[in-house]
């Protein structure tokens, strides 16, 4: 019972602490494509197509469990909708790193983490709300947290990169 009260307190506390999203610039546009769980394309009023990467979260990569579910969740949440993004910066791939608000008040990063479809990307974020939501999802085994051996996308990418490097090294050695 005490755990339930604490969980509810954390959820309500997180909701009560919800603020206007951080971002240097607000861009309004229509979501025209969902690339994966944390990336999509937005068509601005000026007919400029931009790529947007959700801030502070990392969704499973293709071929990882829950990748398709994360993409489907994002598609159902924002595809075809007019939304606001709150741009924090651009990444090395030219994508806008942004907070995304949809359905008037929902933060897409928070919703993905709450539903166990994304990790709080602590390497690039110190957002206590996201960490609290992840802790609750993990504790309640929601979404990807049902699998105790789930691998964070950044670790999965590093493992894949290392496997490629070793394969290349082996080929060079055998020549």
Active site residues: 53, 61, 95
Residue 58: which of 122, 2, 101 has the closest Cα?
122
Give the per-residue SS3 of 119-139.
Answer: EECCCCCCCHHHHHHHHHHHH
Q: CA dist 74 to 2, 7, 47, Å?
A: 33, 25, 22
Q: 119 with 104: CB under 8 angstroms?
A: no
CA distance readout (Å), 82 to 28, 77, 92, 119: 7, 11, 26, 26
| CA distance linking residue 91 with residue 119, whole number of Å | 19
Could you tell me the two tokens for 17? 């602490």
* Residue 54 · residue 38 · CB < 8 Å: yes
CB 27 within 8 A of CB 96: yes
């Amino acid at each position: 019972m005490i755990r339930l009260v604490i969980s509810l307190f954390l959820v309500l506390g997180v909701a009560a602490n919800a603020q206007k999203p951080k971002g240097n610039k607000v861009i309004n546009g229509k979501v025209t494509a969902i690339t994966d769980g944390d990336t999509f394309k937005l068509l601005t009023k000026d007919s400029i197509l931009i790529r947007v990467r959700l801030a502070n979260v990392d969704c499973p990569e293709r071929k990882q469990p829950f990748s398709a579910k994360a993409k489907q969740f994002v598609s159902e949440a924002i595809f075809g909708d007019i939304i606001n993004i709150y741009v924090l910066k651009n990444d090395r791939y030219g994508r806008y790193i942004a907070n995304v608000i949809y359905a008037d008040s929902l933060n897409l990063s928070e919703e993905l983490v709450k539903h166990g479809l994304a990790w709080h990307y602590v390497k690039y974020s110190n957002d206590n709300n996201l960490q609290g939501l992840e802790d609750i999802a993990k504790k309640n085994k929601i979404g990807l947290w049902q699998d105790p051996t789930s691998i964070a996308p950044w670790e999965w990418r590093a493992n894949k990169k290392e496997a490629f490097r070793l394969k290349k090294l082996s080929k060079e050695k055998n020549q």
